Amino acid sequence: MNTVTVVGLGYVGLPLACLCAEKGNKVYGLDTDKNKVDLINRNQSPISDDYLTSKLKSLKNRIRATTNAVECIPSSDVVVVCVPTPIDKNNLPDLTALMESISTISKFIKQGTLLVVESTVYPGTIEEVVAPILKKQGFDAYKNDVFVAHCPERIDPGNKRWTIDNLTRVVGGITKEATDKAAEFYRGIVNANVIELSGVKAAEATKIMENTFRDVNIAFVNEMAKSFDRAGIDIIEVIKGASTKPFAFMPHYPGAGVGGHCIPVDPYYLIEKAKQIGFNHKFLSLAREINNSMPHYTVELLEDCIHKLKKTIKNAKVGVLGLAYKANVDDTRESPAFEIISILKTKGADVVAFDPYVKNLSNIKDLDGLLQKSDYIILVTEHDEFKNMDLNMLKKHKVLVVIDGRNCLDKEKIKSMGILYHGIGRS
Ligand X SMILES: NC(=O)c1ccc[n+]([C@@H]2O[C@H](COP(=O)([O-])OP(=O)(O)OC[C@H]3O[C@@H](n4cnc5c(N)ncnc54)[C@H](O)[C@@H]3O)[C@@H](O)[C@H]2O)c1
**Which residue out of 18, 20, 262, 408 is catalytically annotated?**
262
Residue 243 CB, nearest approach to ligand X (Å): 25
Interatomic CA distance for residues 131 and 196, integer angstroms? 20
Residue 16 CB, nearest approach to ligand X (Å): 9
Measured from the CB atom, is 144 or 332 closer to ligand X?
A: 332
Interatomic CA distance for residues 326 and 336, integer angstroms? 10
Query: What order of strands is seen across the sheet that includes strand 147-150?
Result: 63-66, 26-30, 3-7, 78-81, 114-117, 147-150, 169-173, 194-196
Residue 247 CB, nearest approach to ligand X (Å): 28
Residue 274 CB, nearest approach to ligand X (Å): 18
DSSP bridge pairs for 318:
351, 376
Neighbours of 76 (CB within 10 A): 26
Neighbours of 237 (CB within 10 A): 12
- Residues near 111 by beta carbon (within 8 Å), at least 6 away in sequence: 139, 145, 146
| 262 part of the active site | yes
Measured from the CB atom, is 32 or 285 closer to ligand X?
A: 32
Backbone φ and ψ of 422, nearest 5°: -145, 125
Measured from the CB atom, is 167 or 233 closer to ligand X?
A: 167
Measured from the CB atom, is 49 or 196 closer to ligand X?
A: 49
Angle at 279 between CA 253 and CA 127, to 5 degrees: 95
- Residues near 268 by beta carbon (within 8 Å), at least 6 away in sequence: 87, 91, 92, 93, 288
Residue 126 CB, nearest approach to ligand X (Å): 13
Measured from the CB atom, is 153 or 229 closer to ligand X?
A: 153
Measured from the CB atom, is 358 or 371 closer to ligand X?
A: 358
Residue 375 CB, nearest approach to ligand X (Å): 35
Residue 386 CB, nearest approach to ligand X (Å): 21
Measured from the CB atom, is 31 or 127 closer to ligand X?
A: 31
CA torsion sign for 31, 36, 41, 44 is negative
Interatomic CA distance for residues 379 and 232, integer angstroms? 21
Interatomic CA distance for residues 106 and 134, integer angstroms? 5
Q: Which residue is nearest to ligand X (CB)?
A: 10
Backbone φ and ψ of 80, nearest 5°: -120, 125
Among 247, 292, 244, 245, CA closest to 267: 292
User: Using CB under 6 A as the criterion, which residues of the chain lie in contact with ligand X when the complex forms?
Assistant: 7-13, 30-33, 36, 82-85, 97, 100-101, 118-120, 153, 155, 157, 261-262
Query: What's the CA dihedral at 396, 398, 400, 404 to 10 degrees?
Result: -40
Q: Active-site positions?
A: 262
